[in-house]
Amino acid sequence: WQAGQGQQALPHALRAARQEKQRSALSSAAFYYDICCRVRPEAQITLEYAKVLRLLGRNSEALDWLERVLQLPEVDPLRAEIHLWAGQIHRNLGQYAQAYEFAQRAWLHLVRLPIGRARELCPALLTLSLETCHEDLGALALFRLLGPRLPWLLRYARTDCVLHADLTIGVGMSLP
């Protein structure tokens, strides 16, 4: 590509990537996202690319792109979601200790998000935390994880029956 061509093609490649993803043509979407991320890496676009790679089963590549996106300056509003996705990939790979670490990082950044966005991510993060504690770390670690967060989590549990069930299970698992 000659200088400037990549920047001119970027909006078209991004539109194509999102359209292909919406049509479930994930390989094509990955191709266009790759172009976008190589021409001008942006946090939101790179996160979208990593999600497509995960859906394609290209977990190592997805983790590499998630690590790259954490280095970008505009990443802060997406940090909790990035850590959540990295944790989910590690969990799927059976790497429960790494998944737990990413879940812990996601919890730290979740409280900085607007309430609506935090509410969207909370159930998936709680599920990831429950699964990683159950598989690798045991009930004591789960108690340590949930204990300080219970007042915050209970605010959401009133309106979300799945989150309420996960919280009940989590607290029950953490009791001796």
Check pLDDT > 50 for residue 56.
yes
Confidence of residue 2 (pLDDT cuts 50, 70, 90): very low
How much is the average pLDDT of 44-67? Answer: 95
Q: Could you read off the pLDDT of 144-174 as tens digits, one per residue?
A: 666 666 666 666 556 666 666 666 666 565 5
d(CA 77, CA 4): 29
∠ CA 127-155-111, rounded to 5°: 70
What pLDDT, on the 0 to 100 scale, is given for residue 170? Answer: 61
pTM higher than 0.85, yes or no?
Answer: no
CB 81 within 8 A of CB 121: yes
Comparing CA positions, the residue from 158, 172, 160, 75 lying closest to residue 125 is 160
Helix H, strand E, coil C: the string for 123-143 is HHHHHHHHHHHHHHHHHHHHH
| Across 24-33, 72-81, 97-106, 115-124, least confident range | 115-124
Check pLDDT > 50 for residue 3.
no
| Collapsed DSSP state (helix, strand, coil) of residue 50 | helix
| Helix extents (H) in the chain | 5-22, 26-39, 43-55, 59-69, 79-92, 96-110, 115-132, 138-146, 150-157, 161-174
> How many other C-beta atoms lie within 10 A of the C-beta of residue 32?
23
